[in-house]
Structure 1
């Protein structure tokens, strides 16, 4: 049985869009055909024990392509008979690809990009590393045109011609709207208030600060509107201060981080989903799987016009794209969605239909499996 070694820093119980992507793929492999090599994480032992395939945790909290880590990856590939490798995020771990070929006889290497590689592509030293990654892999994947163009320019013409689009998916049934009283509304005392939900790491690029600045105007037009922020991160303290300074301490609920399996009940509690992400310090939203999850739940979506967000939100049809720095524009769109419930419901329904038709996980897995297939006599990589 041929096996795939998955090398990644992004694996549950750590939370995030890339973690969801990687786990969704590994869970679709036959259990005896995949091995995961990843970093350490609190709570990992109990989580890993429930999985049907081996997960090997490094002692480090973050894997880097050091000689030690590369040596251990090669040893794992030999031990488990892995002749193909998938790097869950290309940069920087795919730099180990050449050593895996030499020492473990790996014949096929796929490296997936998610958006942060665009920053690498625009910084001279990091750009040269992306070119090395293009040279030692068979395929570098991309999410869409917003990320493909800068990454293709960095990896070089030969690797650019081998780039393939590989996008995350959504289990639409898992996020379907559930009628009846919401447990999340009871838990946080939201009652019948209009709720704007944002699910994202609390960092400036995700735009929670813009939502807080927009909220007073929204509440003047739609009294009682509450902002529910789900996620954790370094921006929590500044968001609490901003809400308190604006007299919004009771109108901004910071719910903290929650497992991905708990997300459907948060979407059920919301009237609108909003994440006015913005391009910041050369970082952008690679795609925004959370926009697709919100659409699958039947919510109208307000997204910042950054990177690949436009691939997930059809402006004016399933939601709105806005300048993530413009609090007035964000407020105007939120007010429209909260006041015109028929239009909002129609946007949510169109978004759900689109997710079901175009963004299934099984199709993504089939494409990845095809990319990892080893052709007879294939040695891979640009030489």
Structure 2
């Protein structure tokens, strides 16, 4: 069993996107399997600075007083300040417990992760959930984008093992950062199928709230950023509306692209924005939907597609990134060309136009979620990565010791007197 120090910039109750849900599920599942897990993360108003919850020790780092403007998407100054307070919180946690491995999640915790690796002298494992280059389709327009790319490269170089969520991401970091394939482990994201089961009463309430009287309900949930492709879903609405009178499209989530998307949807009264939905509200929306759409341009994995499948909702997803690996077209969902509103409308129409077909997609997708993406199996695979990192690090320590000994001169035999 491992003693794990996990670093994440988000963790419940503070959730920004899928990363926080991933870290929470992984940490709690590892703890249930007998591993000692400490998560060091950002503080959120009303949360305790330190607590044991669901078998996990959670240490939350409060913000230092200086405020940093993150307008325009430049998080660098904020991230540097955050890493200072995160490092102090992690060192505090280390005073009362030893660790076998440090596990960092994405670039926002890189400086703390490398500091702890050197201070605690334990191996570093890094999960790269996405890359700055991927988020911008290979274009790094500003200095802060290029710096984030450099930090990601540095983190993958410093880690003894790198975890990615898909074969697509393994190829991406190999191409971007020259990370050797033998240091990279593909461990998919997981879904707690029970968490996404929705009660009929909640479905009825969600349909009453979001759907029209006689038309289908289409939904999307996630961060409102360019690479999620929500603009293409909105652009597909006229074609869908002409075929399915009474159509409603619900977009759940928030982000820097929201105002632009609302302007784009101004002439489409069928489209509504809910803001961030969490917990049972999101589950109910998914369960009430006739089709859940994942219109991403860039998607390292696509966990939300599995969450919708677990809720029993048929999925139409862009054929890109990790979505290509988790959605089998015509079997567990339908796929369309990313960035193509006409293709999106056609694929979504296949689902909305044939209820029996849609039901068969949803049933097979839910079965695959339970079989292939359950958290206990994923936690076991992650623990195996920890074991590999520890073994590799032990070999490194042994080699360094041998090299040190080889530099020590052999004792000389004194000449006999006389």
Interval containing the TM-score (normalised by the shorter chain): 0.7 to 0.9
Structure-to-structure mapping, 1:23-172, within 5 angstroms: 23-30=24-31, 33-45=36-48, 51-60=54-63, 63-64=79-80, 69-70=86-87, 72-89=89-106, 91-106=107-122, 108-116=123-131, 119=134, 129-156=151-178, 159-172=180-193
Alpha-carbon offset, residue 155 of structure 1: 4.4
The answer as to whether partners of 1:198 and 1:229 remain within 8 angstroms in 2 is yes
| 2: CA distance, partners of 1:67 / 1:236 | 31
Alignment correspondent of 1:281: none
Distance 1:237 1:335 in 2: 27
- Check conservation: 1:170, 1:292, Cα contact below 8 A: yes
- Whole-angstrom distance in 2 between the partners of 1:125 and 1:4: 28
Shift of 1:152: 2.2
Cα deviation, residue 303, structure 1: 1.2
Give me the whole-angstrom Cα distance separating, in 1, the residues matched to 2:84 and 2:208: 52
Compared CA separation, residues 93 and 224, structure 1 to 2 (3 A): same
Deviation at 1:190, TM superposition (A): 3.8
Q: Mark the CA change 1:105 to 1:185 in structure 2 (over 3 Å): closer, same or farther.
A: same
Alpha-carbon offset, residue 321 of structure 1: 1.9
Cα displacement (A) at 1:276? 0.9
Tell me by how many angstroms 1:137 deviates.
Answer: 1.8
Q: What's the CA shift for 1:111? A: 0.8
Q: How many residues align?
A: 372
- 2:304 counterpart of 1:290: yes
Counterpart secondary structure, 2:394 = coil
Q: Does 1:183 align with 2:205?
A: yes
Q: 1:49 to 1:42 in 2, by over 3 A?
A: farther
* TM-score (normalised: structure 1): 0.86
> Could you say which residue in structure 2 is the equivalent of 1:238?
260
Could you say what secondary structure the match of 1:10 adopts? coil
> Where does structure 2 lack aligned partners over 5 or more consecutive residues?
65-77, 141-145, 401-418
CA distance in 2, matches of 1:93, 1:78: 20
Name 1:312's counterpart in structure 2.
Answer: 326
CA distance in 1, matches of 2:93, 2:52: 19
Assess if the C-alpha contact under 8 Å between 1:202 and 1:235 holds in 2. Answer: yes
Give the number of the structure with larger relative contact order, counting CA–CA contacts within 8 Å between residues 6 or more apart: 1
Which of the residues 203, 210, 217 maps onto 1:195?
217
What's the CA shift for 1:24? 0.1
Q: Deviations over 1:232-288 (max 9, x none)?
A: 1222222222222x2x22x1121211224532211111000102111xxxxx21111
In structure 2, relative to structure 1, the CA distance for the partners of 1:54 and 1:219 (3 Å cut) is same
Between the aligned partners of 1:117 and 1:236, the Cα distance in structure 2 is: 20
Taking the aligned partners of 1:286 and 1:380, their CA distance within structure 2 comes to 32
Inter-CA distance 8–352: structure 2 relative to 1 (3 Å threshold):
same
- Whole-angstrom CA distance in 2 between matches of 1:2 and 1:172: 26
Q: TM-score, normalised by structure 2?
A: 0.79
Is 1:356 the counterpart of 2:375 in the alignment? no
CA–CA separation in structure 2 for the residues paired with 1:231 and 1:126: 24
Check if 1:339 corresponds to 2:353: yes
**Distance (whole Å) between structure 2 residues aligned to residue 355 and residue 53 of structure 1:** 25
Query: Which residue number in structure 1 is paired with residue 3 of structure 2?
Result: 3
Task: Give the whole-Å Cα distance in 2 for the aligned partners of 1:92 and 1:45.
Answer: 22
- Does the 8 A contact of 2:193 with 2:370 survive in 1? yes
Q: 1:204 aligns with which of 215, 220, 226?
A: 226
Q: Note if 1:328 corresponds to 2:350.
A: no
Question: By how many angstroms is 1:130 displaced?
Answer: 4.1
Are residues 234 and 154 of structure 1, via their aligned partners in 2, closer, same or farther at CA, if it must alter by over 3 Å? Answer: closer
> 2:75 maps to what in 1?
none
Residues 120-129 or 24-33, more deviating: 120-129
CA distance in 1: counterparts of 2:132 and 2:263, whole angstroms: 32
Report the Cα offset of residue 161 of structure 1: 1.1
Greater C-alpha radius of gyration:
2
